[in-house]
Structures are given as C-alpha cells and as structure tokens.
Chains A and B, each alone.
Chain A
C-alpha cells in the first residue's frame, strides 16, 4: 500500500472506485499520519470510503457520528456510575483495604470507552471515522482539536492515556456550516466531487453486478444531466445505485419516459425538484428512449449544438 495506483486497485477489488487524486490523498494521509478531512456533496461516498479503507488496511473501523449536542462524555469516556456505586456499597464489608477498593472502582472495568478513547487504546491502528463533523457544535470542534493534536486523553482518576498507535482519522463534512480554520489546519483536505461520466458508469458496474452496459450508460448520463439542473437537492452516487437496483428489480432494459416517472422517487427527493425537471424536460428527453446511446460521439450532452438553431435534438 505505498502508491496511489495500488490503493486504487485495492479499493477497486472491494468495489469502490476512487480517482487518482483521492487515492493520492489517502496515500499522503497514511504516510504523514495526519487526519484527512473529506468534503463534498451528499451521497458521493465519503463515509463509505472510510469503511473501505478500514477493510483495505485490514483493521477495524471506529465510527463517531457527530450530532448537535454531542459532548466530550459521549465522544471520549464515561465512568459507569451506577455500577461503581453498587460495587462500593457491596464491597464495604469484604475486608479489602481502602486503596484496593479505590483502585478497583476506578479501573478499566468501570470505564465506558466511547469512540475517541476506544480509538487510541487499540493494539493496532484503527480507522477512526468522525462522520459529519459539521453537525457537532463549535465547542465540540475545539475539544476535537485537542485530541487530534495530542493523541492523548487525561482521565483524572487514571492519569493520562497516550495512543500506542495513532489511528487513521477520516473526518467528513457536508458543509452545513463553516468549519474553523484551526480544524482545517490540523487536517489534510480533499474535495470529493460527483464522479465524471466514465467514472460513474464504472461505479455502477462495480456496485450493481449484472447491470446491462446500456442501462448503466443511460443512468449515468441522465444523472450528469440532472446534476446540471438547478435542483434543490442534486442526486448523488447513492441515488444512482438505488436507481439502478430499482430498475433491475423492475426488469427494465432501458430507461424511457414512463419508467422515469415511476422511479423518480429514487432520484429526486424534493417535490419542487420534479417541477424543475419537467421544466427542463427538453434537455433530458434525448437521453431517454430505447435508442442505444452512442458513447463514441459523446452522446447528446445538454449543450450539444446540432446546427439546426432552435431544434434541440434529433430523436432517432
């Protein structure tokens, strides 16, 4: 796992297609032992990439899902108070010394490890996924910085725990708010965009085995066209895959207008977006129908000029 091409291959074996830039970013992240911040539109595989990375490295994935109100207790550790109290009461009469009892109560047995502490106490570097970090509040970000910089956690009762092996950290963000510069500076940054057309076709083939070549091309083309529309919620790769599965289960050989209507729910998740799509129907229509799409000539893209002025596209 030393160069980008190897990473690409290993990811491909696990049916996850990454481009060269992203593979290099992973390579740099592993070499420099720095956290990698992945930003990008929803549904392009940010979270999935961390899972696959864990598989590729043959290590475990520890996931910290961020949400509003997440605090240090839920991210780091907590003592199991009820159990401690119970033990303190029960052991009052067993004759052990105070020191013994104290050491026992504040031992690992009563410590509830949350993801961050869990990640730094493993014997082998795990992949630590800090998912949707933009959802946690700013206060948590500051706390996270401390952990990411030092890789140590101080528990008053136990002392300072240092990471034996630094975890490979992946942070993801959907940009629902601006992350602080301080956090950005601690991390390597990579922007994961929507895949290009050939990439998306490759992804469809990799993730949905048995999908016909023509259908994969149609889906990918239509997706590219849809993403160019001013939608409120542009469909991601996850939507492409859902759609491909839906079409497979409906036994459709190709995409036509009625099928599009039936399965639109897989792709457009906001009601207003349907209106937008219908308003731009003229641009999408050439991509529908059972005519084989000609890949060599680049097919009909949205801005193809056929030299007929206002005639948008010839059909058949």
Chain B
C-alpha cells in the first residue's frame, strides 16, 4: 500500500514530495520533528498520523490547505500504481468558491508560487488526483483558468513584458521617495544622544566612568516609522505605452526598500514581488509568469477587491502606502471599485494613483471608474521619468 517498505523511507520521500512539488520549507529539523511526532501517535490511525504531521510540516495557511490532499495523494494514491513523481502538483490546483469559510484560503492557492508552477497550471484539469476537500468540483476548475472574453490571447510568452535594467537616476529617486515618506514616529524607544526620555540603564552604566556620579545623561527617542509600500500595476493593453516607467518604478523601489509588495493585474491579480526583486538584483529580464494579469482588459475593481481579500489584512496597515498605476479605464461595475478604494483608503496611510493619461493635454478623470476612485485617492498624478518620480516624493500626502 505504501510506496516504500519502511516508515523512515516513506516519511523522507513524503517530505521530499512536499518540498519539491508543493514548495514546503522542510529541512532536517522538521524531518526529525516529524519522526518524533510519529512516535507519540497511533500509527495505525490514519487521521492521527495526518493530524500529527500537519503541525510539524505545514508552516503556513497555504501549506495547511494543500497538506491533506498531498497526504492522501502520497499514501493513498488513486488510481493505484501511479508513481508519486507523476502526480500533478496540488499547489496550483485552483479551488472554487463553493464553500463559505474555506473559500478565502482556497483562493490563496490560486496564485502560483513561482514561474515553474505557473507553467504547470495551464496543463491542469485532467489530473488523476482529487483532493479531499474539493472533491466533486472538478468540472468547475477548468473555468477558473479559461481565458475571459476580453483577453482572448494567452498572454504567456508573446506579451510578457521585458523588465528594464535598473537605472541610477531611478534608484536614487526611489531612495529619496522612501526616505521622504513621513509616517510619524514608531512606538519603540531607541537609544540616542538626544531624545525625549531618560535612559536610566545606560546613564547608570555610563556613570561607572565617572565614579558612580551620573554626569552624562543618556536618552531614548522614538525612531521614524518605516513605511511599507504596495504597488499595484495595471498591465492591461491600454497601459502598454507607460509600462516601462511603471516597471522601472517597481524595480527602483525594490532596490530601495525591502518592505515592498508588487502586484500586476488586468483581468486577474498576480503577485510578482519575487520577480521584481530578482529583476532589481539583475537576475531576471522578463516577467514570464503572468497569465491573466497582463495584456488583457481591465477589471480594476474586481482585482482590488481580490487583493484586499487575499492579501489585505497582511499587507495593508497604517504604515502602508498603496500605489496604483492605472489609467482607470475599468470595464467592471464602478461600485465594486468604489468599495475597494474606500477600504484601501480606510486601512492604509495613503493611496497614490499614477495615471499616465494625466500627461495627455485636456484629460479630465471623468471615466466612470476613475470618478468612482478619485475621492479615495490622496495623491493623483503621473510619473513618466526619473525626475518625475523624484518630484512625487515631495507632493505625496499621507495621513501620519
């Protein structure tokens, strides 16, 4: 029944499968803990084994959501006899929104973890594996990845945007931008030569040099709050003229701060933070992993709502500056966009909207999408070169 004869072998190869195919972070330490965990439960009880291995091997909610399917797939493969390495990855298995509370987590599984995974996703659909929790919704899974009506092309390779090389002027502007984002003071206290609070511990320590008399006082002060930035890039066709500048901003910001998240969207939302980081390090030249997050139509409202649902609570807080680069030509219902923008505005330190159409003479933000979003935008401008980006740092308004 089991792939290997002995328990340690089975465990090791199960961990290997989890690590390779599902992107779990499992090292020797976790493996050792897993073996110890199996010591304390009844090995004949499948559920107990499952429940014991899950807390050890799955480190995040995403991991938890694929663990059970992977476990079943490994130890109880169906159809019998299929080798483990021929099984499709569960990580890219799109869930459907049928269930109430599981839908959020399942949605989190949509985003392919890496470029390699994304390639596999397009070949999904007829895999022999049926995960326990999503059993029965097989036919609907294909729908999720079916091209939508306004992006008939599979934008996989032909339209994949080239990532610009990082330029000095841009990265300088980005550093300036990050430095000038004033979000008030943090709640921590740090030692400083001048400050607002007396540092008894260091003062007394220093007084040892002066024979126990505290002659030179030491102080504590609150350091500046470090901003987090979320950049949402509109990758729809109508934006193609200004793509270069937007991606340049993303890469320049990635070189200036680690507290950055980048997403692209057109009809679907996709997280590209890792790709942009690699581009900033000069390792990546092309964004290949985008499916429906590039060169399609635009569903800004739906994509922002999707962003808020999946990443909002982790990534948007009062330290977060949300930057949206889009022309605001939304094909969706304006109400959806308005609600999403209100929510973004409420939870973040400020919303910056970069609209390339502002460069066009006589442009008024009268498109329905833009009109819906405008009240919740704290800074509305356009950036098409490095000096424009540097200027942005001066005009940005934030709620401190």
Q: Which residues of A contact B (CB under 8 A)?
A: 2-4, 20-21, 23-25, 27-29, 31-32, 34, 36, 39, 67-69, 71, 73, 78-79, 81-82, 84-85, 88, 137, 139, 174-178, 181, 184-185, 188-191, 193-194, 224, 227-228, 232, 302-303
* B25 close to chain A: CB less than 8 A: yes
The answer to whether residues A193 and B101 also contact, given A176-B313, A178-B314 and a CB cut-off of 8 A, is: yes
Produce 1/0 per residue, B70-114, CB < 8 A to A.
000000000000000000000000000010111000000000000
CB <8 Å contact, B41 and A27: yes
* B153 close to chain A: CB less than 8 A: no
Q: How many residues of B are counted as interface, with CB atoms below 8 angstroms from the partner's CB atoms?
A: 41
Measured CA separation A25–B64 after assembly (Å):
13
CB <8 Å contact, A181 and B187: no
CB <8 Å contact, B37 and A32: yes
* B400 close to chain A: CB less than 8 A: no
Select one of A36, A81, A139 contacting B204, CB under 8 A: A81
Closest chain-B Cβ to A164's Cβ sits at a distance in Å of: 22
CB <8 Å contact, B55 and A29: yes
CB <8 Å contact, B100 and A137: no
Closest-by-CB residue of B relative to A177 is: B314
* B196 close to chain A: CB less than 8 A: no
Select one of B33, B186, B200 contacting A68, CB under 8 A: B186
Q: B residues within 8 A CB of A31? A: 36-37, 39-40
**20 extra interchain contacts, Cβ-Cβ under 8 A, other than A23-B51, A24-B52, A67-B187?**
A20-B47, A21-B54, A24-B51, A28-B56, A31-B36, A31-B37, A32-B36, A68-B186, A71-B188, A88-B212, A137-B186, A175-B313, A176-B314, A176-B317, A177-B314, A178-B314, A178-B315, A181-B25, A194-B101, A303-B98
Quick one: which of B41-56 are within 8 Å of A by CB?
Answer: 41-42, 47-48, 51-52, 54-56
CB <8 Å contact, A184 and B41: no
CB <8 Å contact, A28 and B52: yes
Select one of B30, B40, B55, B98 contacting A185, CB under 8 A: B30
* B8 close to chain A: CB less than 8 A: no
Closest-by-CB residue of A relative to B185 is: A69
Q: B residues within 8 A CB of A79? A: 201
Measured CA separation A175–B315 after assembly (Å):
9
Closest chain-A Cβ to B284's Cβ sits at a distance in Å of: 21
Q: B residues within 8 A CB of A25? A: 51, 54-55
Select one of B37, B59, B189 contacting A28, CB under 8 A: B37
The answer to whether residues A81 and B55 also contact, given A2-B40, A139-B188, A177-B317 and a CB cut-off of 8 A, is: no
Closest chain-A Cβ to B97's Cβ sits at a distance in Å of: 10
* B7 close to chain A: CB less than 8 A: no
Q: B residues within 8 A CB of A2? A: 40
CB <8 Å contact, B51 and A21: yes
Measured CA separation A191–B29 after assembly (Å):
21
Chain B interface main SS type: helix
CB <8 Å contact, A189 and B59: yes
Select one of A81, A191, A232, A303 contacting B343, CB under 8 A: A232
Select one of A27, A34, A188, A191 contacting B61, CB under 8 A: A191
CB <8 Å contact, A185 and B317: no
Q: A residues within 8 A CB of B47? A: 20
Closest chain-B Cβ to A278's Cβ sits at a distance in Å of: 15
Closest-by-CB residue of A relative to B42 is: A3
What are 8 of the A-B contact pairs (CB < 8 Å)? A24-B48, A28-B56, A29-B55, A32-B56, A69-B186, A69-B187, A181-B25, A185-B29
Closest chain-B Cβ to A156's Cβ sits at a distance in Å of: 9
Measured CA separation A25–B58 after assembly (Å):
12
CB <8 Å contact, B41 and A69: no
Measured CA separation A62–B33 after assembly (Å):
26
Measured CA separation A34–B27 after assembly (Å):
16
CB <8 Å contact, B189 and A69: yes
Measured CA separation A33–B83 after assembly (Å):
36
Measured CA separation A24–B45 after assembly (Å):
12
CB <8 Å contact, B51 and A20: yes
Q: B residues within 8 A CB of A178? A: 314-315
Q: A residues within 8 A CB of B30? A: 185
Q: B residues within 8 A CB of A4? A: 41, 48, 51
CB <8 Å contact, B186 and A184: no
* B60 close to chain A: CB less than 8 A: yes
The answer to whether residues A185 and B61 also contact, given A2-B40, A32-B37, A175-B314 and a CB cut-off of 8 A, is: no
Measured CA separation A228–B98 after assembly (Å):
10
Closest chain-B Cβ to A69's Cβ sits at a distance in Å of: 3
Closest chain-A Cβ to B44's Cβ sits at a distance in Å of: 13
Closest chain-B Cβ to A48's Cβ sits at a distance in Å of: 19
Measured CA separation A21–B39 after assembly (Å):
17
Q: A residues within 8 A CB of B98? A: 303
